[in-house]
Amino acid sequence: MSLLAQFRATPNLLTLLRLFIIPFLVINLLDHRNGLALLLFVLAGASDALDGQIARRFGQSTRLGQYLDPIADKLMLSTLFLAVTHMGLVPFYVTVLVFARDLGILLISTLLFMTNTLRDFRPSLLGKLNTLVQIVTVLLVLVEAVHPREFWLHIRGWLLIATAWLAPLSAAQYAWIVTRRVSSEPPPATSGIAAGHVAA
């Protein structure tokens, strides 16, 4: 499938919509239009769930989508953590841990991909849990900004602690899994014929 055809696939269009929402979400947050920001975040989350369902049900999974979808998720979450930290809603150290984890994983993945050492970067169990906790944390921060309640504040505190722990723990698990997989991978082929066989 050509790159243009992959862009036209419905799941990837929904992912691009999610990327398009990010600046408007941040603008509304910084302008203290918290209700609209919450609505946009829920819309982005719905598009994330929908694109996965469409890709599986109608066989529209693409290689582009495998890279674009997690990039969109991480870009949205990282940007939102920056915005809510700037607004004083999330402690600075939590955002630093979130960014350090994502940047480290991005650099390792890019290096392994560019050197053809490893091209399959499946998320770990802790990685999935880390992403889920980050999404729930941001959602609760936005809900609390719209409807302040002491109950939300208490839950948010525990979610922030969980986020701060899961970020380095999931990064360590990712590094351990990648190290084991790289050590068990056969060495890259040197000849053109062998390289073509591996790529297939």
pLDDT, tens digit, 9 for 90 and up, residues 178-190: 788 777 766 555 4
Is the model's pLDDT at 158 over the cut of 90?
A: yes
pLDDT of residue 196: 40
pLDDT of residue 200: 32
pLDDT of residue 49: 86
C-alpha 114/C-alpha 111 separation (Å) is 5
Is the model's pLDDT at 82 over the cut of 90?
A: yes
pLDDT, tens digit, 9 for 90 and up, residues 97-151: 998 888 887 787 777 667 766 555 566 789 889 989 999 999 999 999 898 888 8
Is the model's pLDDT at 31 over the cut of 90?
A: yes
Q: Which two tokens stand for residue 140?
A: 């609760």
Task: Tell me what percent of the residues of the chain surpass a pLDDT of 90.
Answer: 39
Q: Which two tokens stand for residue 170?
A: 């999931």
pLDDT of residue 70: 80
More confident position, 153 or 1: 153
Closest Cα partner for 105 from 69, 70, 132?
70
pLDDT, tens digit, 9 for 90 and up, residues 47-77: 888 888 887 887 778 777 777 888 888 889 9
Q: Which of 54-58, 150-154, 191-195 has the lowest mean pLDDT?
A: 191-195
Distance spanning both ends of the chain, measured CA to CA: 15
- Average confidence score pLDDT of the chain: 82
Contacts of 162 (CB under 8 A, 6+ apart): 133, 137
Could you give the residue ranges of the DSSP H alpha helices within the chain?
A: 3-8, 10-30, 34-57, 63-86, 92-114, 125-146, 150-184, 192-199
pTM (whole model) above 0.85: no
pLDDT of residue 117: 62
DSSP 77-104: HHHHHHHHHHTTSS-HHHHHHHHHHHHH
